[in-house]
Amino acid sequence: MALQNGDKAKDESTPVRAVVAAMTKDWTLFMLRIACFLAMVSATIVMALNKETKTLVVATIGSNPVTATLAAKFQYDPAFVFFIVANGLASLHNLLVIALDLFKHKFNDKGLCLVIIPIFDMLLVALAAAGDGAATFMAELGKNGNSHARWNKICDKFGAYCQRGGVALIASFIGLVLLIVITVLSILKLHAKPKLTTTHASSLIP
């Protein structure tokens, strides 16, 4: 009799552990998504507002220098435009998922969201990785130039512009890593979602 009672208590505690584990995983995903959103939206804003204007000497006539006012802006480089679009879309996606998590009690079809959200996560991982790669290539070119192609570096003249671009890249890479972690956890959650039987579920009701 004592053995049967012990087995029954152990059996009733199993769904409780499953529910607690699921709630912990949901909370972890929620906090990771908030951190990912903050990182990517910061990268988007910093790069979108990144510009610097300088007056440089471009030639010398006799002893008189000829100056010109030049500006460095993200709009001048398609790679940085793509970077902003990719991070902006990833930020919007994370914001929408956060809103869904906050108001998920109002949605009846939770299974559909559970499947669709990881798919969009994977698509945005690819998009954000492509944007980061393109922007990193242009950043390296701006910092060191390319003597073979006769492309001059610009970071020795527009130092603040390059520094802010570097900050945006770091924030975006942090967001990308977090988004990869979120995607992996979402897929694991999809495959290991706890299934409570009617008997187990009824045992949780006082």
Count up the domains in the chain and report the number: 1
Work out the end-to-end distance of the chain between its first and last CA atoms, rounded to an integer number of angstroms: 24
The whole model's pTM is what? 0.76
Please give the full DSSP string across 62-79, using - where no structure is assigned.
TTEEEEEEEEEEGGG-HH
- Examine residue 62 and state whether it is found in any structural domain, yes or no: no
3-state secondary structure of 60: strand
Judge whether 114 lies within some domain: yes
How far lies 67's CA from each of 21, 55, 64, 115, 125, in Å? 66, 6, 10, 59, 44
**What's the pLDDT at 203?**
43
Identify the pLDDT of residue 201.
Answer: 41
**Has residue 200 been placed in a domain?**
no
SS3 194: coil
Q: Kindly give, in sequence order, each residue whose CB lies less than 8 Å from that of residue 47, ignoring residues fewer than 6 positions away.
A: 74, 80, 83, 84, 87, 135, 164, 165, 168
- The pLDDT of residue 184 is above 50: yes
**Which residue's entry shows tokens 């942090």?**
174
31: left (phi over 0), alpha (psi -120 to 50) or beta: alpha
5 within a domain of the structure (yes/no): no
Lowest-confidence segment of 63-67, 69-73, 79-83 by average pLDDT? 63-67
Q: pLDDT tens across 18-34, in order?
A: 444 445 557 888 999 99
* Residues of the domain holding 126: 23-47+72-192
Q: Are the beta carbons of 131 and 63 closer than 8 angstroms?
A: no
Residue 118 included in any domain: yes
Q: Using CA atoms of 173, 175, 178, 183 in order, give the dihedral in degrees to the nearest 10.
A: -100
Asked, for residue 13, whether it belongs to a domain, the answer is no
Whether residue 140 has pLDDT greater than 60: yes
Q: Are 172 and 1 in contact (CB under 8 A)?
A: no
